[in-house]
Amino acid sequence: TIRIREKQIPLVSSDRSTIFSYDRFGALRILNRLRPDLYNLGDVSPFAPSKFAIGNRRMAWSSGGSNRTIHVINAEQEKRVLGDHGEQVEMLAVSPDDRYVVSGGTQLRLWDLKDDTSVLLASFPKPVRHLAFVGQTLFCATAEGKVHRLELPSGKAELVGEHGALLRGMVGVVVDPKGRWFATSGVRQRVYLHDLQSGQKRLLSEGKKGARGLAASPDGEFLAMSVADSEVQIVSALAEREPVVLQTRERREDLAFPAFSSDGRSLVMSSEHLGVRLWSDWQNKPEESRVLAANDDTSFPVFSPDGRLIVAPGGDSGFTSVWEVATGQRRDIKGSSTSMQAQYWPAGN
């Protein structure tokens, strides 16, 4: 199955030099220094690699007729095949130290790149929908709404929370970068914040549409969620205070997929048919925002680590759009087909 319309989360390299992407025909490419030149890393298969994840100096992806073969590549562009996951891969994660790759479907498998071994960590009734590392701790959320915490490499696991309904796909979970809480959004339009220290679950939102995206601030102090067509709420994750509400003048703008800058000061979201909307100082000036226009249906925008760029894939147009935050100037980098996913690689050069 070739997933043409699937949209996934982009990231940005620390020196703003490299965008790593693939197209739906399986071609892995490097877009170097934001030029339109495409450096092809190789066609891994005639099928789209359905998932990939980036660590510090390594990236992992799945490919093959049923998306079950796991590959890795390092910053020097040395590739290797890890092996067969055993079923279709739904999610991947790379540990911060680049030693481990975790692949998840209904089974969760750990690949040790140092010892060149793999082990089955767990099996679930429903497939994995989210994987996130916090140090050597792995958070794993399944489609049925259960979130597990696993210590690596032992694989010791505990159930740390339940949403109570099916999760909203890949946008349904976000984990505090410091591992103190996580938030879930379900198909029944409820958003919960789960406090891992107290074990309590707090209802944050209960609307007609539910949250179309969740984001944790880099310091873990705040949670951003899109709760209505033209409204965003930013909630204090560690204290029960009134949320900061960001609104736009457009009545039905369809905001989604929030992302914080690395200093937590700015917030960007996709704005359907407009491009992306940017709040440069959401805490002090929540009423001030601007649209960075695009040609097509952009999604999952992210900041570069230095906050000077915003990048978002452009759907069926095949473009990846790059904006200079200071000037709003946009540059479109043309891929060979549908722009499904773009990520900045921290060690890319």
Report which of residues 49 and 177 the model is more confident about. 177
Of 8-17, 42-51, 204-213, 334-343, give the range with the top mean pLDDT. Answer: 204-213
Cα distances (angstroms) measured from residue 33 to each of 20, 66, 257, 317, 332: 11, 33, 25, 21, 13
| Phi, psi (deg, nearest 5) at residue 318 | 80, 0
Per-residue model confidence (pLDDT) at position 159: 95
| All residues at 6 or more sequence positions from 67 whose CB lies less than 8 Å from its CB, including other chains | 47, 48, 49, 50, 51, 88, 89
Mean pLDDT of 298-308: 85
Query: What is the pLDDT confidence band of residue 50, given thresholds at 50, 70 and 90?
Result: low
Least confident of 81-85, 100-104, 318-322: 318-322
> What number of H helices and E strands is found in the chain?
0, 32
pLDDT greater than 50 at residue 5: no
Q: Is residue 199 classed exposed, middle or buried when 0-12, 13-18 and 19+ CB atoms within 10 A define those classes?
A: exposed
Q: In this predicted model, what pLDDT tens digit does every residue of 103-146 receive, in sequence order?
A: 999 999 999 999 889 999 999 999 999 999 999 999 999 988 89
CB neighbourhood size of 123 (10 A):
9
Kindly compute the dihedral angle of the four CA atoms of residues 31, 59, 134, 153, in this order, to the nearest 10 degrees.
-170
Residue 185: C-alpha distances to residues 44, 80, 204, 213, 232 (Å) = 34, 36, 10, 8, 15
Note the pTM of the prediction, 2 decimals: 0.81
Per-residue confidence band for 40, with pLDDT thresholds at 50, 70 and 90: very low
CB 112 within 8 A of CB 58: no
pLDDT at 250: 66
Torsion of CA 343, 347, 348, 349, to 10 degrees: 160
